[in-house]
Amino acid sequence: MGQYDGKTHLNEGQVDRNGDTIWHGKNVPYIVPSADYLKYLKTHLKRAIDAGVTAIHLEEPEFWARAGYSEAFKKEWKNFYNTAWQAQHESPEATYLSSKLKYQLYYNALKDCFAYIKSYSKSIGREVQCYVPTHSLINYSSWRIVSRKQAWPRSATWMVILRRYGREHPGSRSILMVYKKKGFLKMLFLSMEQ
């Protein structure tokens, strides 16, 4: 830890309302994707490109819904909204603003990293593909994670997610159809026997 710039950056992890860091593993917090973190990440992206990779998968850009209380997040709030931070549990508006910022931080992180990957690989005569492996929208909703994947592209009019149930409903399958109509998300849930 701290080999990049002499700091551990544990203070840039996602923190819940009780002040507890949300951990991904030992000494690995779910991170608030700050500008410093993106600089660090780009050093690894460059190393991977220089090593000859043909594709980079920036896995699971996730921000926990219960997070949003760290000093790093409060700093990003101030930068984004140009107002004092508001605790998300204090009002529906603060919850919305917090979720919007979480989404925006990872959107910007992916956009910045992918632009770097494309620019750097092109500068050395290569083309590196960019991917974002994620879980399903059902998983993210169930786990209460704000994700870049939850944004619906304007051109998307519908999407079908097929999920097989295991122990709870053997032999059945369910389809959740989500579509956009007049700016509102509509859901249709169908259950069918196999």
Mean pLDDT of 126-132: 93
- Going by DSSP bridges, is the β-strand pair 62-64/145-147 parallel, antiparallel, or unpaired? antiparallel
Mean pLDDT of 72-83: 97
List the helix and strand counts (H, then E) for the chain: 4, 9
- Going by DSSP bridges, is the β-strand pair 28-29/23-25 parallel, antiparallel, or unpaired? antiparallel
pLDDT surpasses 60 at 82: yes
pLDDT at res. 48: 94
pLDDT surpasses 60 at 14: yes
pLDDT band at 140 (very low <50, low <70, confident <90, very high): confident
Q: For residue 145, give every residue at least 6 positions away whose Cβ sits within 8 Å of its Cβ, in sequence order, or none.
A: 62, 63, 64, 65, 139
Percent of the chain with pLDDT over 90: 51
User: What CA–CA distance (Å, rounded) separates 194 from 190?
Assistant: 13
pLDDT band at 160 (very low <50, low <70, confident <90, very high): very low
CB 88 within 8 A of CB 68: yes
Mean pLDDT of 144-172: 43
